Structure 1
Amino acid sequence: MHYIIGVDIGTTSTKTVAFNLQGQVLADHSVEYPLLTPQPAYSEQNPDEVLQAVRDTIKTVVSAMRQTGFTVAGLAGISFSSAMHSLIALDEAGNLLTNSITWADTRSNDHAAQIKNSALGHNIYRRTGTPIHPMSPLCKLVWLQAEQPELAKKAHKFISIKEYVFFRLFGQYLVDYSIASATGLFDIFTLQWFGPALQLAGITEANLSEPQPGTHVVRGLSPEEAKNLGVDPQVPFILGGSDGCLANLGSSAIRPGSAALTIGTSGAIRVISADPATDSQERIFSYILTPEHYVLGGPVSNGAILLRWFRDQFGLPETQLAQDLSSDAYELLLQKAASIPAGSEGLLFLPYLLGERAPIWDANARGVYFGLNVTHTRAHMLRALLEGILFGLYSVATALMQVTGSIDVIYANGGFAKGDIWVQMLADIFNQEIRVTESVESSALGAAIMGMLTLKIIPDFEGVEKLVPVARTYQPREENHAIYQKLYAIYEGLYPKLKQDFAAITALQK
């Protein structure tokens, strides 16, 4: 009896899932950690809190498997998924010089704007597939060199959160192609660090980890580490990939015309291509799953984190009721939103509380309720917020299809796909069939499938659909789609009219 573990290192939590070799969930455990915002535009994590979450979740899941009859030898391997774009500076002894600066951090916005409007910036996008934006480690490094030069001089390595985990577990600096391709520093055509980007960032290859395919295996945990985790010291650890790329694999959205749409803390819609491709308008990314599979798409900064914001700021009644009923506040909020008709009776929401990435790539963008009147209630504002997040993703999908062709079916994954209400809104807005797989934790499953490929449990990705059965499908409702189309036309016109005002109000906060 064998099983495989997928570890998904996210922005606000790490989730570890044990799967059997048919892709079914056997056990899972997650640990949350805070997103640190010490000042405006900053968004960080404590790397050691994340590392401890990885250790704790693996240990808990392995223990649960042992209690159900699996032996230590039954663990085939542990494979990793991780959020992209993080940056950590370490000194020569491997000590932390910074927290993990996450994708949501926008402190480098001014530097990013200068790079984006230059010929060098355009060339970097074309070669790396990473849009020029404060999310990217490239822009973070430029900021660091300019604003904290003494710290930059002390730094020996600049790595991501997953690289930090592997460094602490094995003492090696390794990065998979997938994470590397989201840095703005990696040439997706040659699979090497891109010299002009490194020169702009003020670093050399020696300051970065060694790029490896996602199938790269590391063995040799220390006896103490292995004992703590409850695993054999020689159990294979597989590098895996980024959460976005692996979400496509873990939802079986790997064929032409199929897309994976994820809403977790942030959100994204992605398709897989046999070749890298960039957009003349620089709206989408082109990342690597394997050298034969490129993931094209666009991320939005504002996903379910906005629902958390609404819960924390305006959801006290549902929070208290959930405590009384031993229920879930989010489910109560979604039920409240479902009581409002499609289109929120003319209320629109620009969901840019964290700025925005695709397709506008503007860290200055801000959230806006538009059309508010005295008949609108808190429930209207909640439903408009959910619809606004989906309108943002629809805008990304429109840009993506202009580059890659039509999308025929969408696989929904991430925490939002656990319920019906939000997914039905998605079907209505996109006017597409939406499929939800049995395991909505698609990034963890994608990591596990990458592990199965590495360990030759499966020969290739061709039969991945067998590992990812569809649990539910949602069909669009034409009457709702018609309403949404009219509102979307207004939604699309709002940002261009407000762009300069967003920049002005941001300048007032500096």
Structure 2
Amino acid sequence: MLKAILTLDIGTTACKAIVFDLEGRILAEQGKEYPIYQEKPTWAQQDPDDWWGAAVSTVKGCIASLEDMPEIIAIGLSSQRETVVPIDREGNKLDDAILWMDRRAKGQAEELVDHYGRENLHRMTGMIPDSTFTATKLLWYKENRPEIIQKAYKFLQPKEYIAYKLTGECATDYSLASRTMMLDVKNRCWIKDIFDYIGVKEEQFPPIKYSDEVVGYVKDDVAPLMGIRSGIPVVVGGGDRQCEALGAGIFGNRAMESTGTTTNVSMGTDVLVDQVDERVIISCHVLRGHWLIEQGMTTSGTINRWFRDNFCAMETSVAGEIGERDYALIDRELAMSSPGAGGLVLLPFFMGAKSTRWNASARGALLGLTLNTKKRDIGRAILEGVAYEIRACLDILQSMGLSVDEIVAMGGGAKGALWNQIKADVCGRPIKVPAVTDAASLGAMILAGTGVGVFGDAKACSKRLNGIVKEYLPDGGNYRLYSKLYGIYNEIYKALEPIYDKLAEI
């Protein structure tokens, strides 16, 4: 019987289930979106039961779509990071999950900086103090809803919640633990002083395992819900970006640009860099003894979705396609806007800025509107604005002495030919697309296979399973144009920076 590995990726906008054979080929794939709840403009929460409902639905759909049922030998997990949900001893949520993009804990981030010092926190945890990280959210609970801290049995991140629902066991891994801003990133252990300051206990967090270890086995009462057998080993897995880096083969002078809900620019290393730019994050990798140098935005793909939902309902003359919200159709129209988007420049900071800016008060901006501006120009300016910020991330890596010769595009954004070419032209480097662009899922699959002993070296497995299938080379003329616009892009940000704090107070 054909053997296969099932993966679940609990993303910010959707859950994706994939059944892989042991050669990395996709046998079945299902996705299901779930909502983000915003009680206030800068808040963002999700119901963890929506994650679980989507996981059950997508796995069941995958299994039903298979003509010849393989033997599923393991389940691998990946998920969004920093998001936290408190549960009681019976596994019931005490609150909806506070997402990584939620900005309510800006004041708590500043409080931690005042107490520990920005440089000291960065040195200890590898994280840049920001409301993104779990520590700030827990401090917000302490100061605003202390009963949550008191009642919580465990604080779980998304894949940990799904693993618990699947197996009844709680475990985290070093890749997600490092994103709490509560872990000593060098020595890979919890920082007791930070726990004490926040007012939580280490036992309220799951035990830390390596990403290729088994957390537990599918429970008897869960298996029928999904159409799978009970007893399948569930491997711990890791954060989506670290899993992506593994699945994309990000070694040597390759950088990864992963665009989904947001965009992350990463490079892997087996040694800690001595001179770390204070704007760069160092996370624990899903590979043992490795780290990931990361720069992440707050919004990028979500801006594209915002454009789709608000401006593309879709007016189109293509027969049979009226009303469809299809990114391929949108790209056809955006391609009619020339490079430079008719003089429009967009700042993609719709929920604050991370990556190179680290300004929670930053907001999106669109400059250059005229009466000749068309919808397609606005859409293209969105794609170009994200590409400018990717270039800013590469500039920082270069300033650290890290040479980036090529960029591997991952995530949903890698499927857009127009966007890939824009990124190549803006950054002046080849954009390469591998066979599997859902690298988080592939990385989780490799970890799961390693965990049950069917794969040996995870790096070698990544290179074997996910070769490059498409390449976008930069156009010299477009690169020169975009270089001028990139300079203007940075000038616009500097000009608006003093205004952002005033705007945030309104």
Which TM-score band (shorter chain)?
over 0.9
CA drift of 1:196 comes to 2.4
Counterpart amino acid of residue 28 in structure 2:
A
Counterpart amino acid of residue 16 in structure 2:
K
The residue number in structure 2 matching 1:145 is: 142
Matched, 1:311 2:308: yes
Q: Indicate the larger mover: 55-64 or 472-481.
A: 55-64
How far apart, in 2, do the equivalents of 1:81 and 1:49 lie? 16
TM superposition outliers: structure 1 runs of 4+ over 6 Å: 319-323
The residue number in structure 2 matching 1:360 is: 357
Contact 1:43–1:105 (Cα < 8 Å) also in 2: yes
| 3-state secondary structure, aligned to 2:460 | coil
Task: Calculate the TM-score normalised by the size of structure 2.
Answer: 0.95
| 3-state secondary structure, aligned to 1:316 | coil
Counterpart amino acid of residue 23 in structure 2:
Q
How far apart, in 2, do the equivalents of 1:488 and 1:480 lie? 12
- Within 5 A, what are the aligned runs for 1:485-496? 485-496=483-494
- Within 5 A, what are the aligned runs for 1:215-294? 215-253=212-250, 255-277=251-273, 280-289=276-285, 290-294=287-291
CA drift of 1:352 comes to 0.8
How far apart, in 2, do the equivalents of 1:358 and 1:140 lie? 20
Counterpart amino acid of residue 70 in structure 1:
M
How far apart, in 1, do the equivalents of 2:425 and 2:312 lie? 26
| 3-state secondary structure, aligned to 1:182 | helix
CA drift of 1:118 comes to 5.1
How far apart, in 2, do the equivalents of 1:227 and 1:332 lie? 39
Q: Do the aligned partners of residues 321 and 183 (structure 1) sit closer, same or farther apart at CA in structure 2, a change above 3 Å counting?
A: farther
Q: Do the aligned partners of residues 322 and 466 (structure 1) sit closer, same or farther apart at CA in structure 2, a change above 3 Å counting?
A: farther
Q: Do the aligned partners of residues 281 and 498 (structure 1) sit closer, same or farther apart at CA in structure 2, a change above 3 Å counting?
A: farther
Unpaired segments ≥5 residues, structure 1: none
How far apart, in 1, do the equivalents of 2:125 and 2:274 lie? 9
Counterpart amino acid of residue 287 in structure 1:
S
CA drift of 1:186 comes to 1.2
- Cα displacement string for residues 82-123 of structure 1 (whole angstroms, at most 9, x for unaligned residues): 111101112344321111111110000122133335544432
Contact 2:434–2:467 (Cα < 8 Å) also in 1: yes
The residue number in structure 1 matching 2:480 is: 482
CA drift of 1:342 comes to 0.9
Counterpart amino acid of residue 2 in structure 1:
K
Counterpart amino acid of residue 14 in structure 1:
C
Matched, 1:436 2:437: no
The residue number in structure 2 matching 1:413 is: 410
Q: Do the aligned partners of residues 339 and 117 (structure 1) sit closer, same or farther apart at CA in structure 2, a change above 3 Å counting?
A: farther
Counterpart amino acid of residue 47 in structure 1:
P
| 3-state secondary structure, aligned to 2:329 | helix
Tell me the number of residue pairs that the alignment of Structure 1 and Structure 2 aligns. Answer: 503
Which of the numbers 102, 107, 110 marks the counterpart of 1:105? 102
Q: Do the aligned partners of residues 119 and 480 (structure 1) sit closer, same or farther apart at CA in structure 2, a change above 3 Å counting?
A: same
- Cα displacement string for residues 141-199 of structure 1 (whole angstroms, at most 9, x for unaligned residues): 11111122233322232221211112222222210111111110111222211122212
Matched, 1:131 2:128: yes
Contact 1:2–1:70 (Cα < 8 Å) also in 2: no
The residue number in structure 2 matching 1:462 is: 460
Unpaired segments ≥5 residues, structure 2: none
CA drift of 1:367 comes to 0.7
How far apart, in 2, do the equivalents of 1:384 and 1:182 lie? 31
How far apart, in 2, do the equivalents of 1:323 and 1:104 lie? 37
The residue number in structure 1 matching 2:38 is: 37
Contact 2:314–2:325 (Cα < 8 Å) also in 1: no
- Cα displacement string for residues 438-496 of structure 1 (whole angstroms, at most 9, x for unaligned residues): 12111101111111222222210224222002111110000000001001011112222
Matched, 1:447 2:447: no
How far apart, in 2, do the equivalents of 1:138 and 1:245 lie? 20
- Cα displacement string for residues 210-253 of structure 1 (whole angstroms, at most 9, x for unaligned residues): 11100111333322212222223221111111110111111112
Contact 1:319–1:329 (Cα < 8 Å) also in 2: no
Counterpart amino acid of residue 15 in structure 2:
T
Counterpart amino acid of residue 16 in structure 1:
A
Q: Do the aligned partners of residues 120 and 172 (structure 1) sit closer, same or farther apart at CA in structure 2, a change above 3 Å counting?
A: farther
Counterpart amino acid of residue 231 in structure 1:
I
Q: Indicate the larger mover: 97-106 or 147-156.
A: 147-156
Counterpart amino acid of residue 501 in structure 1:
I
The residue number in structure 2 matching 1:403 is: 400
The residue number in structure 1 matching 2:69 is: 70
Contact 1:90–1:155 (Cα < 8 Å) also in 2: yes
How far apart, in 2, do the equivalents of 1:136 and 1:418 lie? 29
| 3-state secondary structure, aligned to 1:181 | helix
Counterpart amino acid of residue 36 in structure 1:
Y
CA drift of 1:314 comes to 1.8
CA drift of 1:268 comes to 0.6
Contact 2:168–2:219 (Cα < 8 Å) also in 1: no
Task: Calculate the TM-score normalised by the size of structure 1.
Answer: 0.94
Contact 2:253–2:404 (Cα < 8 Å) also in 1: yes
The residue number in structure 2 matching 1:181 is: 178
- Cα displacement string for residues 328-352 of structure 1 (whole angstroms, at most 9, x for unaligned residues): 5322221121111111132101111
Counterpart amino acid of residue 431 in structure 2:
I
How far apart, in 2, do the equivalents of 1:50 and 1:404 lie? 40
Contact 2:17–2:62 (Cα < 8 Å) also in 1: yes
How far apart, in 1, do the equivalents of 2:182 and 2:274 lie? 15
The residue number in structure 1 matching 2:383 is: 386
Which of the numbers 78, 81, 84 marks the counterpart of 1:81? 78
CA drift of 1:204 comes to 1.7
Contact 2:160–2:172 (Cα < 8 Å) also in 1: yes
How far apart, in 2, do the equivalents of 1:365 and 1:57 lie? 36
Contact 1:163–1:173 (Cα < 8 Å) also in 2: yes
CA drift of 1:434 comes to 1.0
Matched, 1:422 2:423: no
Taking only the aligned residue pairs, the percentage that are identical comes to 28
Which of the numbers 480, 495, 498 marks the counterpart of 1:497? 495
How far apart, in 1, do the equivalents of 2:402 and 2:178 lie? 23
The residue number in structure 2 matching 1:54 is: 55
The residue number in structure 2 matching 1:210 is: 207
